[in-house]
Amino acid sequence: MSPGKSGIHPAVSDRPLSGLRRSRAVLVTGAGGEMGHALIEALAAREGTSVVAMDIRELEPGVREHCENAFVGDVCDAQLLERLLAMYEVDEVFHLAALLSTRGEFAPETAHQVNVVGTLNLLKLAAEQARSHGRPVKFVFPSSIAAYGIPDLDTKRKAGAVKEDQFLEPHTMYGVNKLAGEHLGRYYEGHYRKLAKDRMERPIDFRSIRFPGIISADTLPSGGTSDYGPEMIHAAAQGKPYACFVRRDTRIPFMTMPDAVDAVLRLAAAPKERLTRCVYNVAGFAPTAGDFERLVLERFPKAKVSFQPDAGRQSIVDSWPEDVNDSAARGDWGWSPRHDLETAFDQYLMPRIAARYG
Residues at the site binding ligand NAD, with contacts judged by CB under 6 A: 29-30, 32-36, 55-57, 74-76, 96-100, 114, 118, 142, 144, 211, 213-214, 223-224, 226
Least gap, CB of 198 to ligand NAD (angstroms): 31
Residue nearest to ligand NAD (CB): 33
Least gap, CB of 144 to ligand NAD (angstroms): 4
Angle at 308 between CA 303 and CA 312, to 5 degrees: 135
Query: Which of 200/291 has CB closer to ligand NAD?
Result: 291
State the number of CA atoms in the 13 A half-sphere of 106 facing the CB: 8
Query: Which of 115/129 has CB closer to ligand NAD?
Result: 115
Query: Which of 6/238 has CB closer to ligand NAD?
Result: 6
CA nearest neighbour of 47 among 216, 269, 259: 269
Active-site hit among 174, 228, 280, 348: 174
- Helices 34-45/257-269 angle, 10° precision: 50
Query: Which of 69/144 has CB closer to ligand NAD?
Result: 144
Active-site residue flag, 188: no
Least gap, CB of 294 to ligand NAD (angstroms): 21
Cβ–Cβ under 8 Å, residues 169 and 150: no
Least gap, CB of 30 to ligand NAD (angstroms): 3
Cβ–Cβ under 8 Å, residues 43 and 28: yes
CA dihedral 347, 280, 207, 332 (to 10 degrees): 90
- Helices 350-357/228-237 angle, 10° precision: 50
Active site residues per annotation: 174
